[in-house]
Chain A
Amino acid sequence: METNHEDLWVANRLATIEPQWSPNLARGRELLDARLEGRRSHSRTWLAAAAATAAVCVAVLAFPGTRAIAQEFWFRLILNRVDVVRLDLSKLPLHMQVTTNGLEKSVRDIDEAERKAGFRPYLPSPGALDADPDITVTGPILVEQTIHVRDIESALGEVGASDVQVPAEWEGVQLRSEIGPMVAENYADNVRIQQALPVELSIPSGFELEHFAAVAFRSIGVSSWESRAMAQKFAAHPSWLLDIPPYAVVNIQEVALRAGPVLLIEEFDQKGAVKQATVVRSTSERMYSVSSRNRELSIKIANALP
Chain B
Amino acid sequence: MEITRPEGLDAIFRAHYERIARVIGRVTHDQARAEELAVEVFLKWWRNSPAHGAHAEGWLYRTAAREALDELRRQTRRKRFEGLFSFVRESPPTPEHLYTVDAERHRVRTVLGALNRRQAELLLLWSQGLSYQEIAAALAVNSNYVGSLVSRAREAFRKEYLKRYGNQS
Contact = CB atoms under 8 A, between A and B. Distances in A.
A155 B89 CA distance: 42
Nearest to A10: B154
Given A17-B108, A22-B18, A37 B3 contact: yes
B52 interface: no
Interface string B1-31: 1010100010001100110011001110001
A28 interface: yes
Q: How many B residues are at the interface, by size bracket?
A: 35 or more
B13 A28 contact: yes
A158 B26 contact: no
A90 interface: yes
B43 A23 contact: no
A233 to B, nearest CB: 27
Given A13-B104, A19-B31, A32 B13 contact: yes
Given A19-B26, A25-B17, A35-B39, A158 B158 contact: no
Given A21-B31, A23-B21, A29-B13, A16 B39 contact: no
B57 to A, nearest CB: 17
A150 B65 CA distance: 13
B154 A158 contact: no
Contacts of B61: none
Interface in A1-52: 6-7, 9-19, 21-25, 27-29, 31-33, 35-37
A293 interface: no
B38 interface: yes
Given A23-B18, A24-B35, A150 B66 contact: yes
Interface in B110-166: 111, 117, 123, 127, 151, 154-155, 157-158, 161
Contacts of B18: 22-23, 25
Given A6-B154, A6-B155, A31 B70 contact: no
Q: Interface majority SS on B: helix, strand, loop or mixed? A: helix
Contact of A95 (B38, B70, B104): B70
B74 interface: yes
B60 interface: no
A19 B22 contact: yes
Interface string A269-300: 00000000000000000000000000000000
A25 B15 CA distance: 10
A91 interface: yes
A148 interface: yes
A118 interface: no
A172 interface: yes
A148 B70 CA distance: 8
A186 B9 CA distance: 34
Interface string B89-112: 000000000000001110111010
A231 B169 CA distance: 55
B56 to A, nearest CB: 15
Contacts of B107: 13
Nearest to B128: A18
A282 B127 CA distance: 54
B67 to A, nearest CB: 9
Given A17-B27, A158-B50, A32 B42 contact: yes
Contacts of B161: 13
A158 B17 contact: no
B55 interface: no
A10 B5 CA distance: 40
A16 B104 CA distance: 7
Contacts of A27: 35
Contacts of A37: 1, 3
Contacts of A19: 22, 25-26, 31, 34
A31 B47 contact: no
A36 B10 CA distance: 11
Contact of A18 (B5, B26, B38): B26
Contacts of B40: 35, 95
B17 A14 contact: no
Contacts of B158: 6, 9-10
B166 to A, nearest CB: 13
Given A16-B103, A17-B108, A35-B39, 16 more contacts: A7-B151, A10-B123, A13-B104, A13-B107, A13-B169, A14-B108, A23-B34, A25-B14, A31-B35, A32-B13, A32-B43, A33-B3, A35-B40, A36-B5, A90-B47, A172-B73
